[in-house]
Amino acid sequence: MRSIRISFRIGSAVILLASMAGAIAAALWVSAWWALGMAIGGEAIVLLWWTQVRGARRTRQDAPGRARAARALRRSRLRTQLHDVRDAVGALADAVVLFDRQGHVRWFNAAATRLLGVQHGHIGQPLAQPLAGSELGAWLRTDTTQPATDLPAPADASLRLAASIMPFGRQLSVLLARDISTLSRLEQVRRDFVANVSHELRTPLTVIHGYLELLDPADVPELAPVLGEMRMQSQRMQQIVEDLLTLSRLETREALPDEEVAMIPLLETLRREAVALSLGRHRITVEAGTQVDLRGSIHHLHSAFSNLVSNAVRYTPSGGEIVIGWRQTDDGGAIFSVRDNGLGISAEHLARLAERFYRVSSSRSRESGGTGLGLSIVKHVLNLHQGRLVIESEPGRGSTFSCVMDASRVLPPDTNGAARAETPAD
Ligand code: ADP
């Protein structure tokens, strides 16, 4: 635009000079009228030129004003957008608290007052202040990269919350807390239902099983096969009920006893149990690559490990090999593993294997006398020890079930010879 204006001005000057020259020449050689015409044309162009120059000057003088107006408009639009976002977050049913690197509250919404008890007076104060003495406050002091799944709301203990923290920008983080009371109540109803049904079934099943045991097949030879089947099924039902009760108990526990679990004797006990179950059909060995022990519940760890060993025996055909392993990891943790070269499991089942009653093949499980709850129990026991279950398997080649234990659960070998609690021998 600017270059067009400059060219126009140069053009006007050239035309003015040309018109003046033309006017002089016309006055000398043609006529006075011609000279007058030329001069007027030149004047008109000069006038045009001045208009341009003044217009450009005015435009230059107005530019800061217009930029200021545009900036003000932009600012007002941004302010409106900010207010809209704040109003939207403010109206959320989830509690939202913005806090800085020092943990000081910057902003919060109405739900944060209702659920967390954050008030206007807490702005600029540590977030720990309104949450002091609550489980949420205790969670805030720990590793908050892991979300809190089910905690009482600090401002109303009858409500349950799920909370997480998300850092954003360079300085700020946001605490999000969702009211999950309804979900939590439903979960409790489910847990109570399973526990109550299992409990109610236990007594009649014990009675039925007792009477079946009293009946001697020799007395009624024609019913011998039926009696045998009835005994087997009632035993299976009793086992399912016991496993369901174990799971219910584990679900309601927040922690298990902290005992010193002597691993070397436990590995030997597990090997003896496997040999007894295998009845000589498998080669069973122990590979202990470390002498370290574990901190946890002797009873529950024994039961979880023994579940894996019994699965290896049940799902490995005769002549197969089973290795019970114990080794340390580079990060100071340790792994208990059971490896077999049995049937194996295809990849699509692995992620769901530890779900209740999930079976790769129900006939395979039934034949082997399984309840479908074993791995679920293992997973719960490991969770309560901050451990995890890792399954590697290939159909036709075998499986390895590993219990990965955190370094905080590993105890150094008992060098002073003090007796550590051993698991009950078989
Ligand atoms: P179950 O009582 O049926 O054995 P589990 O929860 O212990 O129940 O195991 C779930 C399923 O995982 C089993 O039904 C079986 O199909 C599979 N499984 C468990 N361990 C092994 C193994 N060592 N080899 C092959 N399949 C296994």
Cβ atoms < 10 Å from Cβ of 133: 8
What pLDDT score was predicted for residue 362? 72
243 lines ligand 1 (CB under 6 A): no
Mean pLDDT of 288-294: 96
311 lines ligand 1 (CB under 6 A): yes
Residue closest via CA to ligand 1's atom 23 equals 312
* Reported confidence tier of residue 418, pLDDT bands at 50, 70, 90: very low
Interval between CA 236 and ligand 1 midpoint (Å): 16
Interval between CA 353 and ligand 1 midpoint (Å): 7
Residue closest via CA to ligand 1's atom 13 equals 359
Of 393 and 41, the structure prediction assigns the larger pLDDT to 393
| Three-class SS state of 334 | strand
* Reported confidence tier of residue 421, pLDDT bands at 50, 70, 90: very low
What pLDDT score was predicted for residue 305? 98
**Of ligand 1's atoms, which has the minimum distance to the CA of residue 342?**
24
What pLDDT score was predicted for residue 14? 67
φ/ψ of residue 289, rounded to 5: -90, 0
274 lines ligand 1 (CB under 6 A): no
Query: In this predicted model, what pLDDT tens digit does every residue of 40-77 receive, in sequence order?
Result: 766 666 676 677 767 667 767 678 888 999 999 999 99
131 lines ligand 1 (CB under 6 A): no
340 lines ligand 1 (CB under 6 A): yes
Probe target for ligand 1 pocket from 250, 315, 371, with the most ligand atoms within 8 Å of CB:
315
Mean pLDDT of 266-274: 97
Query: In this predicted model, what pLDDT tens digit does every residue of 311-358 receive, in sequence order?
Result: 999 999 999 999 999 999 999 999 999 999 999 999 999 999 999 999
Probe target for ligand 1 pocket from 365, 397, 401, with the most ligand atoms within 8 Å of CB:
365
Judged against a pLDDT cut of 50, whether residue 365 lies above it is answered with yes
* Reported confidence tier of residue 422, pLDDT bands at 50, 70, 90: very low
* Reported confidence tier of residue 263, pLDDT bands at 50, 70, 90: very high
| Selection from 84, 188, 177 nearest residue 134 by Cα | 177
Interval between CA 215 and ligand 1 midpoint (Å): 33
397 lines ligand 1 (CB under 6 A): no
**Of ligand 1's atoms, which has the minimum distance to the CA of residue 368?**
4
Residue closest via CA to ligand 1's atom 8 equals 372
Residue closest via CA to ligand 1's atom 4 equals 370
Q: Is the entire prediction scored with pTM above 0.85?
A: no
Query: In this predicted model, what pLDDT tens digit does every residue of 212-236 receive, in sequence order?
Result: 999 888 888 898 999 999 999 999 9
Mean pLDDT of 275-301: 96
Judged against a pLDDT cut of 90, whether residue 144 lies above it is answered with no
Interval between CA 365 and ligand 1 midpoint (Å): 7
CA distance 47 to 36: 16
What pLDDT score was predicted for residue 423? 44
**Of ligand 1's atoms, which has the minimum distance to the CA of residue 361?**
16
Q: Could you give the percent of the chain with pLDDT greater than 90?
A: 68
Cβ-based neighbours of 116, under 8 Å, separated by 6 or more? 95, 97, 108, 130, 131, 136, 153, 154, 155, 177
**DSSP states of 336-379:** EEEEE-SS---HHHHTTTTSTT--S-HHHHHHTT--S-HHHHHH
345 lines ligand 1 (CB under 6 A): yes
Handedness of CA 54, 55, 58, 64 (dihedral sign): negative
370 lines ligand 1 (CB under 6 A): yes
* Reported confidence tier of residue 397, pLDDT bands at 50, 70, 90: very high
CA distance 413 to 103: 41
Task: Show the tokens assigned to 213.
Answer: 């045991």
At 331, the amino acid letter reads: D
What pLDDT score was predicted for residue 262? 96
273 lines ligand 1 (CB under 6 A): no
Interval between CA 382 and ligand 1 midpoint (Å): 17
Mean pLDDT of 107-132: 95
Cβ-based neighbours of 65, under 8 Å, separated by 6 or more? none
| Three-class SS state of 152 | strand
